[in-house]
């Protein structure tokens, strides 16, 4: 670790510009940010972080022969990048690789950054979307002309461009042409994305962001997305989190996936709010009872509202 890295670098309280009055947590929207010059997001600092995270197995990488239609889950094994994290990050121009530094908040230096930025986000969005938890950061360092395959994630996501150019395709979380309701039910229940299937014509119905440094986008939970890097290397950071609403929706989707196994096709989450409310109340009560039973039995209970994902003691 260099002397600079031993400092505690703080991000501006409002590093992500968000209009508090108009923010809608379920609408894809452009944002701007002020993290381009942040010391922890510069190439040398990222090489050092990559070395630390590789020891913990917190690196995901694949080669630049992966395409939009490559299975997101299988990309690392189907298109392996055989270089180490330090080799890849230190020579990203020629590495022909896509590399993600996962859950950077597990690293104390970067936890401060994730906490600072998301404290600022929470101050702007909390009135519309309370209960921010499981905060996390993900840094993507990519060679020219690499692709992040088509996929979706469970968290709300502010994706911010730090250097280089990226084109991001994002589809509404309600777009059932691109991702069916059953695909979302299955994903929440098993974390499997096998019901997602890429088609080139999806590009025509996407929100498209051509991001330069200082620009970014907000995408709600389970908004499908696909990313293409331009003709130069790229550094991008995502800040993600769950809220009361994403956790509620996740529980409903999980329940619907189980219901489907009995041959019943439940109405999409959100179509019948009264039914959703009754279902959620019932299932949440059952989950609570199960948690109490596990505690009584001396078995570990999965905490529901950690401040940082993967960091139990904060
Ligand atoms: Fe993603």
Is residue 257 located within the same domain as residue 125?
no
The rounded distance, in Å, linking the Cα atoms of 213 and 162 is 5
**CA angle at 208 for the pair 204 and 212, rounded to the nearest 5°:** 150
Phi, psi of 157 (to 5 degrees): -145, 120
Is residue 225 located within the same domain as residue 275?
no
Is residue 183 located within the same domain as residue 217?
yes
| Interval between CA 206 and ligand 1 midpoint (Å) | 15
Least confident range of 124-128, 131-135, 287-291: 287-291
The mean pLDDT value for 257-266 works out to: 91
Residue with the larger pLDDT of the pair 9 and 237:
237
pLDDT at 7 over 70: no
| Interval between CA 289 and ligand 1 midpoint (Å) | 33
As a whole-number percent, the residues of the chain with pLDDT over 70 amount to 93
In a domain, 111, yes or no: yes
In a domain, 305, yes or no: no
Is residue 43 located within the same domain as residue 172?
yes
pLDDT at 1 over 70: no
CA end-to-end distance (rounded Å), the chain: 23
In a domain, 11, yes or no: yes
Structure-token match 């042409």, residue found: 177
> Exposed, middle or buried: residue 200 (CB in 10 Å: 0-12, 13-18, 19+)?
exposed
Is residue 119 located within the same domain as residue 268?
no
| Interval between CA 53 and ligand 1 midpoint (Å) | 19
Specify the pLDDT at position 275: 87
Is residue 62 located within the same domain as residue 170?
yes
- Total residues found in the chain within this entry: 314
For 77-96, the pLDDT digits (tens) are 999 999 999 999 999 999 99
Say what the pTM is.
0.92
| Interval between CA 127 and ligand 1 midpoint (Å) | 25
| Interval between CA 138 and ligand 1 midpoint (Å) | 9
Q: What distances in angstroms separate CA 185 from CA 73, 181, 214, 260, 284, one per listed residue?
A: 17, 6, 35, 9, 17
| Interval between CA 175 and ligand 1 midpoint (Å) | 17
In a domain, 93, yes or no: yes
Question: What is the domain count for the chain?
Answer: 2
| Interval between CA 23 and ligand 1 midpoint (Å) | 21
CB 150 within 8 A of CB 66: no
| Interval between CA 296 and ligand 1 midpoint (Å) | 38
Is residue 209 located within the same domain as residue 257?
no
Residue 284 is part of which domain span? 247-296
| CATH number of the domain bearing residue 230 | 2.60.120.650
Is residue 24 located within the same domain as residue 149?
yes
**Last-in-domain residue among 182, 217, 243:** 243
The mean pLDDT value for 28-43 works out to: 96
pLDDT at 156 over 80: yes
| Interval between CA 298 and ligand 1 midpoint (Å) | 36
Band of residue 278 on the pLDDT scale cut at 50, 70, 90 = confident
pLDDT at 5 over 60: no
């Amino acid at each position: 670790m260099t002397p600079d890295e031993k400092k505690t670098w703080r991000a501006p309280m409002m590093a992500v510009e968000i209009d508090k009055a108009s923010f809608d947590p379920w609408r894809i929207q452009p944002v701007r940010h002020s993290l381009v010059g942040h010391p922890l997001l510069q190439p040398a600092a990222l090489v050092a972080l990559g070395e630390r995270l590789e020891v913990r197995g917190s690196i995901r990488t694949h080669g630049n022969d992966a395409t939009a239609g490559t299975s997101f889950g299988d990309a690392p094994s189907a298109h392996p990048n055989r270089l180490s994290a330090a080799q890849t990050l230190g020579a990203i121009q020629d590495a022909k690789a896509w590399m993600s530094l996962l859950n950077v908040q597990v690293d104390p230096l970067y936890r401060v950054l994730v906490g600072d930025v998301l404290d600022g986000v929470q101050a702007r969005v909390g009135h519309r979307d309370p209960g921010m938890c499981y905060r996390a950061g993900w840094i993507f360092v990519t060679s020219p002309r690499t692709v992040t395959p088509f996929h979706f994630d469970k968290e709300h996501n502010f994706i911010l461009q730090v250097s280089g150019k990226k084109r991001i395709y994002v589809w509404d979380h309600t777009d059932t042409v691109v991702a069916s309701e059953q695909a979302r039910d299955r994903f929440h229940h098993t974390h499997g994305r096998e019901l997602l299937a890429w088609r080139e014509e999806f590009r025509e119905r996407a929100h498209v962001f051509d991001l330069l440094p200082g620009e970014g986008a907000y995408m709600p939970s389970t908004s499908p997305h696909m990313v293409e890097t331009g003709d130069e290397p790229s550094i991008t950071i995502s800040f993600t989190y769950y809220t009361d609403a994403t956790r509620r929706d996740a529980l409903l989707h999980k329940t619907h996936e189980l219901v489907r196994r009995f041959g019943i096709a439940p109405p999409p989450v959100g179509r019948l709010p009264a039914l959703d409310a009754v279902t959620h109340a019932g299932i949440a009560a059952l989950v609570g009872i199960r948690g109490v039973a596990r505690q009584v039995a001396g078995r570990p209970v999965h905490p529901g509202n950690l401040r940082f994902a993967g960091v139990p003691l904060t």
